[in-house]
């Protein structure tokens, strides 16, 4: 986002949806990311299947983040997140 400053210029402000990548892995056409959002202090896992051009994302408690990153289909299914057939 751009905001006008007092001198007539513009200032770039951080987006409220900014997230930091904590981990990433890829194999067999599937990519998995682990993200953290500073503003909300929430952790999420995102999965992309490039073969099917399908993706899903879900939030997870910080204590479970690494396990959810390693087993995203199981965690998504347990939370009722609609996932595609892997």
Residue 6 lies in a domain: no
Instruction: Determine contact, residues 61/67, Cβ cutoff 8 Å.
Output: no
Interval 7-26: pLDDT, tens? 555 545 555 568 999 999 99
**Count of domains for the chain:** 1
How long, in residues, is the chain?
86
Q: What's the CATH code of the domain at 53?
A: 3.10.450
Interval 35-82: pLDDT, tens? 999 999 999 999 999 999 999 999 999 999 999 999 999 999 998 888
Residue 83 lies in a domain: no
Which pLDDT score is estimated for 49?
Answer: 94
Q: Which domain holds residue 24?
A: 18-78
Instruction: Determine contact, residues 83/56, Cβ cutoff 8 Å.
Output: yes
């Amino acid at each position: 986002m751009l905001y006008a400053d007092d001198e007539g210029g513009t200032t770039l402000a951080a987006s409220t949806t900014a997230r930091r990548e904590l981990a990433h892995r890829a194999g067999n056409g599937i990519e998995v990311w682990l993200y953290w959002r500073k503003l909300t202090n929430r952790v999420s896992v995102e999965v992309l299947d490039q073969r099917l051009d399908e993706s899903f994302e879900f939030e997870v408690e910080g204590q479970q983040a690494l396990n959810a990153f390693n087993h995203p289909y199981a965690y998504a299914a347990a939370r009722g997140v609609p996932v595609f057939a892997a």
